[in-house]
Amino acid sequence: MMEDNNDSKAFQIGEIAKAVDMSQRTIRYYEEIGLMNSVRRIEGGKRVYTDDDVRRLKLIKRLKVLGLSLTEMHELESMWTTHRANDIVLRRLLEILDSHLRLIEDRVMDLGILKNEISEYRERINAKIDE
């Protein structure tokens, strides 16, 4: 860890990768696709990460766990860059999460139907075996 000009902590990519349990390659990829627009570089082109970048990567990880695609995350990032308003971004995030919830509910219902079909088919097979 090093100090940057603003007296805040600055991390090298290896340090931040350990802090957020993510590969360096993944972090670089997120930077390439625009999810990590705030990453700065120092002399020699070396990337420098801040506490804000740690928080951003933790948010990205959380959103992935919640089922958001990189495209959806990029949409949210673009909205933030354009509007700089949490309420706009959070409203869109709620819409995305609601959509994901509906998909999950549909999948759970479909799996319940499949479970019943499998159970009934097993019973018929067992009845044939017992004949």
Q: Quick one: 59 and 77 in the same domain?
A: no
Question: pLDDT by residue (tens digit) across 25-81?
Answer: 999 999 898 898 777 777 777 788 888 899 999 999 999 999 999 999 999 988 988
The residues pairing with 4 across neighbouring beta strands, listed in sequence order, are none
Q: Quick one: 13 and 56 in the same domain?
A: yes
pLDDT for 2 beyond 60 = no
pLDDT for 4 beyond 80 = no
Which single residue is written with the structure tokens 């949490």? Answer: 86
- Quick one: average pLDDT of 99-106? 96
**26 is in which domain, residue-wise?**
1-65
Q: How many domains does the chain have?
A: 2
Reported as a pLDDT band with limits 50, 70 and 90, residue 8 is low
Three-class DSSP labels, the chain: CEECCCCCEEECHHHHHHHHCCCHHHHHHHHHCCCCCCCEECHHHCEEECHHHHHHHHHHHHHHHCCCCHHHHHHHHHHHHHHCCHHHHHHHHHHHHHHHHHHHHHHHHHHHHHHHHHHHHHHHHHHHHHC
Q: Quick one: 1 and 61 in the same domain?
A: yes
pLDDT score at 1: 54
Whole-number mean pLDDT of the chain? 89
